[in-house]
């Protein structure tokens, strides 16, 4: 990984350098206030929309970590104005979840799904919207539908941890509906995928 000094020599923009500095302060050192300061400086500079949007996005993540959900929501919204990426809408939705406003969360996960369809994303939006339907709205049919769609998009790989969790929640939804046959069917899929994930993790440890 290049140092900040090396990035300057390599011709990275000031926005990219400040963003990288902030990410290291955030992830490695947990220096949230210093990271926010670096990102705020980057946002104040002229840069490509995608670069500034990413600065807003990272700053939003830091605000969320600090439990400043209103500031996080505002930054996710600014990022969404500058680019079309489902993660920005998922961020807003997640903040509404933290505030206990599940209807607004569903609305923004729905926006994430619409944006995601254009670029092959949206599986997280389906996943988290389905989770709300299951756990908070008790709308089991909607939960099953969303979780199956999440698997279909992500299910490019049946070895995905997310798929295992989807299968588990689908099983839970069917059980709540009194459909034990399908509940058992999806529980078995949960176990099967979970075993693959564990096996792959063990193989990775050996490499």
Q: What share of the chain is helix, strand, coil (3-state, %, to 5)?
A: 80, 0, 20
**Candidate from 61-75, 76-90, 154-168 with smallest mean pLDDT:** 154-168
Query: In this predicted model, which residue has the larger pLDDT, 163 or 107?
Result: 107
Domain locations along the chain: 12-83
Please name the CATH architecture into which domain 12-83 falls.
Answer: Alpha Horseshoe (1.25)
The helix (run of H) or strand (run of E) holding residue 206 is helix 180-206
User: Which residue in 150, 134, 154 sits closest to 142, CA to CA?
Assistant: 134
Query: In this predicted model, which residue has the larger pLDDT, 153 or 41?
Result: 41
Check: CB of residue 80 under 8 Å from CB of residue 89: yes
Query: Given this model, what pLDDT does residue 202 score?
Result: 54
User: What are the structure tokens assigned to 54, written together?
Assistant: 């990413």
Query: Given this model, what pLDDT does residue 162 score?
Result: 79
157: left (phi over 0), alpha (psi -120 to 50) or beta: beta
Query: Given this model, what pLDDT does residue 199 score?
Result: 55
Q: With the C-alpha atoms ordered 22, 39, 99, 119, is the resulting torsion angle positive or negative? A: negative
User: What are the structure tokens assigned to 88, written together?
Assistant: 């920005």
Check: CB of residue 143 under 8 Å from CB of residue 133: yes
User: Which residue in 156, 187, 181 sits closest to 169, CA to CA?
Assistant: 187
pLDDT in tens, 108-139: 999 999 998 877 688 899 999 999 999 999 99
């Amino acid at each position: 990984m290049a140092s900040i000094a090396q990035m300057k020599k390599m011709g990275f923009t000031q926005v990219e350098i400040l963003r990288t500095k902030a990410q290291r302060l955030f992830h490695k050192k947990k220096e949230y206030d210093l990271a926010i300061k670096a990102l705020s400086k980057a946002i104040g500079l002229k840069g490509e929309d995608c670069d500034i949007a990413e600065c807003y996005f990272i700053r939003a993540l830091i605000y969320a970590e600090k439990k400043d959900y209103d500031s996080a929501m505002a930054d996710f919204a600014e990022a969404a104005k500058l680019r079309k990426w489902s993660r920005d809408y998922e961020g807003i939705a997640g903040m509404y979840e933290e505030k206990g406003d599940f209807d607004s969360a569903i609305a923004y996960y729905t926006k994430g799904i619409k944006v995601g369809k254009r670029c092959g994303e949206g599986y997280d939006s389906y996943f988290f919207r389905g989770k709300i339907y299951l756990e908070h709205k008790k709308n089991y049919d909607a939960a099953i539908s969303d979780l199956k769609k999440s698997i279909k998009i992500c299910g490019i790989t049946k070895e995905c941890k997310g798929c295992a969790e989807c299968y588990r929640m689908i099983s839970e939804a069917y059980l709540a509906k009194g459909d034990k046959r399908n509940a058992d069917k999806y529980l078995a899929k949960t176990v099967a995928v979970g075993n693959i994930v564990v096996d792959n993790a063990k193989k990775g440890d050996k490499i």
